A and B are shown apart, each in its own frame.
Chain A
Amino acid sequence: DARVTQTPRHKVTEMGQEVTMRCQPILGHNTVFWYRQTMMQGLELLAYFRNRAPLDDSGMPKDRFSAEMPDATLATLKIQPSEPRDSAVYFCASGPRDGYAEAFFGQGTRLTVV
């Protein structure tokens, strides 16, 4: 089964530390999304890429968050410095070249900043 792979699954870090989350999209998909999920806010879109180019990162706090796609098989989301309010589950999803913008999600990275 083709699936989106995210690492790490869980991360506990101290406030101020750098956090890097990685995502391997489904082979052949050309759209990659980063979402953050919390109980209060639900699923929020942070950024998305098409053919590795960033299309929209307006949902991301620019001063501390950055998202990149170094190549077609890797997307990264970095937080520096991390803060307790960043604690959430971060999901990566990829979408096929053809279709109606469907998103296929990874299992997420549960981040806790203490």
Chain B
Amino acid sequence: TQLLEQSPQFLSIQEGENLTVYCNSSSVFSSLQWYRQEPGEGPVLLVTVVTGGEVKKLKRLTFQFGDARKDSSLHITAAQPGDTGLYLCAGAGNTGTASKLTFGTGTRLQVTL
């Protein structure tokens, strides 16, 4: 079984602060995705990283895939209240679209004014 551990589990910060969320596993993934989930909604895909060492930026969010494709990080610069939500990483174990997606334990972020 492929397990994805996220840290921290909970994070409460003030608007304007920076933060980093980590996603770690002992397994190698062919790709890794980050999702954000808001209350009452399903998770929404933010980004997919595929290549070891890859860095992707989405406005104030920076995503990195570890060189060995076992871990990933999400860095948010100058957090805003709209960033509040549950952040989930998910790893795909095989190549191709029929891959089994395993989700991490989640990081619940709250950004206050």
Q: Which A residues lie at the B interface, using CB under 8 A?
A: 4, 30-31, 33, 35, 42-43, 45, 48, 50, 55-56, 91, 93, 95-108
Give the shortest distance, in Å, between A88 (CB) and chain B (any CB): 13
5 A–B contact pairs at CB < 8 A? A4-B42, A55-B98, A97-B97, A106-B42, A107-B40
Measured CA separation A107–B103 after assembly (Å) = 17
Give the shortest distance, in Å, between A35 (CB) and chain B (any CB): 8
Say whether B96 contacts A101, CB under 8 Å. yes
Give the shortest distance, in Å, between B33 (CB) and chain A (any CB): 6
Interface centre among B96, B101, B103 (most CB of A within 10 A): B101
User: Residues of A contacting B104 with CB < 8 Å?
Assistant: 42
Give the shortest distance, in Å, between B83 (CB) and chain A (any CB): 19
Chain B contact residues: helix, strand, loop or mixed: loop
The answer to whether B100 has its CB under 8 Å from any CB of chain A is yes
- Minimum-distance CB pairs A-B, first 6: A105-B42, A101-B99, A101-B92, A100-B31, A43-B103, A50-B98
Which single member of B30, B50, B97, B103 contacts A98 (CB below 8 Å)? B97
The answer to whether B66 has its CB under 8 Å from any CB of chain A is no
Question: With A31-B98, A42-B106, A48-B100 known to touch, is A100 a contact of B42 (CB < 8 Å)?
Answer: no
Interface centre among B42, B100, B102 (most CB of A within 10 A): B42
Say whether A30 contacts B106, CB under 8 Å. no
